[in-house]
Structure 1
Amino acid sequence: MREEIIASPEAIALMRIAAAARDVQAASAALEKHFGDAGGTQPSTLELARFAAAMQELRDAREEFDRLLSQGRQD
């Protein structure tokens, strides 16, 4: 039974959301280092791009999960 739950599309979508949220958190922490008490330094383009990509992946993952849930309600 456990394998069926883990392999369900909803469970996979939730795992994608969790992974994306962790990526956003890590990218955010990297950006926060630039805005501490020691004064502000400009974050690198790579750090900003990483944060933007992580946020986009989180949005996409949530939209996919919402689509799966609404599809399940229609069936």
Structure 2
Amino acid sequence: MGQTESKAEEAAAIERVANAAREVQSASKSLEERFNASSDAATPTVPLARLTAAIKELQVARDALDGLLAKKSFH
């Protein structure tokens, strides 16, 4: 793999992490607003599921970036 391809792959992985982090932040804010707006004790299932999925995607994205950087450090 050439240096240009490697840098493009790294940039894409970093962008994926950044996008996932923004989604976690957005989902968290949405869930917080939902709790603050409602006195109902019921758990808001959809916003909670969105946050859970966003956190999972962030973990996967970070693991992929870590793997890419680890692979690069061995070369």
Compute the TM-score of the two structures, normalised by the length of structure 1: 0.80
In structure 1, runs of 5+ residues without a counterpart are: none
Q: How many residues align?
A: 70
Runs of 4+ in 1 over 4 A off after TM superposition: none
- For 1:6-45, list aligned pairs within 5 A: 8-36=8-36, 40-41=39-40, 42-45=42-45
In structure 2, runs of 5+ residues without a counterpart are: none
Instruction: Give the whole-Å Cα distance in 2 for the aligned partners of 1:44 and 1:34.
Output: 7
Instruction: Give the whole-Å Cα distance in 1 for the aligned partners of 2:66 and 2:20.
Output: 15
- How far off is 1:39 after superposition? 6.6
CA RMSD of aligned residues (A): 2.0
- How far off is 1:31 after superposition? 1.1
